[in-house]
Amino acid sequence: MKLLGTLRLLVIIAVVTLVGAAAIWWVRSPKASRVTTHDSTITDISPMVRLCALDIYEDVPIKASIGTRHMFARATLNSTITFDLENIGLSEQGDTILVTLPREIVEIYESTDPGSYLVIDTWNDRLFGSEHFTTSEENTIKAKVRDNFRRKIYRKGYVRRARAEAADNLTSMLSGLTGKTVIVTDPTPEGSPDIR
């Protein structure tokens, strides 16, 4: 009997606690009249533009010569195409957002994966001449390879594709976030090669 009385008391306390919690939640929940909304204002889209990038990985053959010494090698180059976020043009005219796509940044670097740079053969035109290249000479050759790869990126249309994708991504993101019409203009759809 005592056990049954204790059980009833616990059930009553649990029910009262649940009803009380539901009542408190109901009273404190916001009513439709207390909820206010404000128009959104775009102040900075730099974090969104970081989504507009293209990564390129490619094995590049290297054939070079210095004097009578020659080299044949293979290198894996990585490249990223991003955009100068400080110079993005953004203005608002009525219910339209105007965005000007900035200059692209093409970064090329040699892969650090094992076996990403492999010298296949070296030789000298002289019978008893040295066929070895110094580290400085190899770095000079690699710099020329990177410059040629940069030209190839523009020539193959990778930059054009990255700029078109960036414009499409910005248009869909901004129109989805703001509900406004977005016009992205690209002053240089082919890119701005800066070959050193």
Domain parsing of the chain, residue ranges: 46-185
Strand 104-110, strand 69-83: pairing = antiparallel
Q: Beta-carbon neighbour count of residue 104 at 10 Å?
A: 25
Residue located via tokens 């939640």: 25
pLDDT of residue 52: 60
Phi, psi for 50 (deg, rounded to 5): -65, -15
CB 89 within 8 A of CB 135: no
Strand partners, 73: 62, 119
pLDDT of residue 64: 93
- Tens of pLDDT along 33-77? 555 666 767 776 665 555 567 889 999 999 999 999 999 999 999
- Tens of pLDDT along 76-121? 999 999 887 677 888 888 888 898 988 888 989 999 899 999 999 9
Phi, psi for 112 (deg, rounded to 5): -105, 5
CB 118 within 8 A of CB 74: yes
Whether residue 158 is predicted with pLDDT greater than 90 in this model: the reply is yes
**What does the mean pLDDT of the chain come to?**
84
Stretch 138-147: mean pLDDT, rounded?
93
